[in-house]
């Protein structure tokens, strides 16, 4: 028990330590940004520090936090729906080849329609509401999750299924004890992608449907040609996505992928 906690702590430590590399990358981006700012001036591209200050200011006047919360909540709602529906349908289709063959062309069509078209349609059907945003997210991200789940089921090690069956596992326990773990390995990366799209689509839908949230704030910044504010909102949205991703999905993924760490030779752990 204590050993398990220590192991988790040490992995958390390693992860935080690897954050320095991420920070270095961000600093490089900021340097390029600064160069762009110095070349084109504040009106086209405000300096990174200016943007950060603006974001800080937005965070500290109360309304911004509400808007961020609203957008995050909408994105999470759409994401949760698409995760549940995508995984359920994907697993079902993975186990049933006929369903899979039927669903592939449908998926191609859905994926081929740009999210913006769905937003327009949803706006016509449901007006500018939270439902429009959720529905657009659902349609835009479910296929990715679905494909991840299908992939997980179809590429699972059938030898392990036979092994479990020999030792007395029926179909249900073969799924929960042996297949689920392999499916999760494919679903989680898909969920990370889907979460990112959820935020993007949520903001886009808000902007177009004029449904408030960060998208609405962006629309206002655009109409007032306030590029500093616009960039600040973008930075805040990215921050929110980062917090959700690393607070929600990455820990689960790290827990599931623990055995892969063991495969890495000593010294190149990171």
Partner 1 sequence: MSLLSLSRIGHAFFGRTVLEGITLEIGAGEVVALVGPSGSGKSTIAHIAAGLIEPREGRIARSYRRHAMVFQEPRLMPWATVEQNIGFPLRLSRHPRSTRRAAAGAAAEAAGLLPADLGKYPVELSGGMRQRTAIARALVTAPDFVYFDEPFTALDVALKRRMQDLVIASAARASFAALFITHDLMEAIRVSHRILVLDRLGRGIAGERRLAGDPGARDEAAIFAQRQAFLTGDPLFAHIHELDERLRP
Confirm or reject binding of residue 263 to partner 1 (CB under 8 A). Answer: yes
Beta carbon of residue 163, minimum distance to partner 1 (angstroms, whole number)? 4
Beta carbon of residue 124, minimum distance to partner 1 (angstroms, whole number)? 47
Confirm or reject binding of residue 177 to partner 1 (CB under 8 A). Answer: yes
Question: Which stretch, 22-30, 48-56, 153-161, 245-253, contacts partner 1 (CB under 8 A)?
Answer: 153-161
Query: Which of 165, 189, 200, 226 touches partner 1 (CB under 8 A)?
Result: 165
Of the pair 7, 66, the CB lying nearest partner 1 is at: 7
Contact call for residues 132 and 211 (beta carbons, < 8 A): yes
Count the residues of the shown chain that bind partner 1, applying the rule CB under 8 A: 21
Contact call for residues 176 and 123 (beta carbons, < 8 A): no
Burial of 265 per CB tally in 10 Å (0-12, 13-18, 19+): exposed
Confirm or reject binding of residue 173 to partner 1 (CB under 8 A). Answer: yes
Contact call for residues 197 and 140 (beta carbons, < 8 A): yes
Confirm or reject binding of residue 222 to partner 1 (CB under 8 A). Answer: no
Confirm or reject binding of residue 169 to partner 1 (CB under 8 A). Answer: yes
Of the pair 117, 162, the CB lying nearest partner 1 is at: 162
Query: Which of 2, 166, 172, 268 touches partner 1 (CB under 8 A)?
Result: 166
- Measured CA to CA, the distance from residue 268 to residue 270 in angstroms comes to 5
Of the pair 105, 265, the CB lying nearest partner 1 is at: 265
Cα atoms in the 13 Å half-sphere on the side-chain side of 31: 6
Question: Which stretch, 120-128, 177-185, 189-197, 201-209, contacts partner 1 (CB under 8 A)?
Answer: 177-185
Burial letters 125-143, b for 16+ CB under 10 A, else e = ebebebebbbbbbbbbbbb
Beta carbon of residue 247, minimum distance to partner 1 (angstroms, whole number)? 23
Contact call for residues 234 and 226 (beta carbons, < 8 A): no
Query: Which of 62, 105, 112, 159 touches partner 1 (CB under 8 A)?
Result: 159
Q: What DSSP string runs through 108-162?
A: HHHHHS-HHHHHHHHHHHH-SSHHHHHHHHHHHHHHHHHHHHHHHHHTS-HHHHH
Where on the chain is the footprint of partner 1 (CB under 8 A)? 157, 159-160, 162-169, 173, 177-178, 181, 256, 258-260, 262-263
């Amino acid at each position: 028990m204590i050993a398990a906690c220590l192991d988790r702590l040490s992995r958390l430590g390693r992860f935080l330590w690897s954050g320095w590399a991420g920070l270095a990358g961000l600093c490089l981006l900021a340097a390029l940004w600064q160069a762009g700012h110095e070349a084109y001036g504040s009106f086209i591209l405000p300096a990174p520090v200016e943007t950060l200050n603006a974001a800080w200011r937005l965070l500290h006047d109360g309304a911004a936090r509400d808007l961020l919360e609203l957008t995050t909540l909408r994105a999470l709602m759409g994401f949760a729906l698409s995760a549940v529906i995508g995984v359920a349908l994907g697993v079902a289709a993975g186990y049933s080849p006929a369903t899979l063959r039927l669903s592939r062309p449908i998926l191609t069509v859905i994926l081929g329609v740009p999210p913006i078209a769905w937003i327009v349609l949803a706006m016509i059907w449901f007006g500018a509401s939270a439902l429009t945003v959720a529905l657009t997210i659902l349609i835009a991200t479910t296929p990715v999750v679905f494909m991840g789940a299908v992939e997980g089921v179809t590429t699972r090690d059938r030898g392990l299924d036979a092994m479990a069956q020999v030792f007395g596992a029926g179909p249900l326990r073969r799924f929960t004890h042996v297949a689920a773990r392999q499916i999760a390995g494919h679903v989680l990366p898909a969920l990370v992608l889907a979460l990112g799209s959820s935020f993007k689509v949520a903001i886009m839908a808000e902007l177009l449907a004029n449904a408030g949230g960060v998208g609405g704030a962006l629309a206002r910044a655009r109409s007032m040609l306030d590029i500093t504010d616009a960039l600040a909102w973008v930075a805040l949205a990215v921050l929110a996505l980062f917090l959700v991703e690393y607070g929600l999905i990455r820990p689960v993924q790290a827990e599931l992928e623990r055995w892969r760490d063991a495969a890495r030779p000593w010294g190149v752990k990171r």
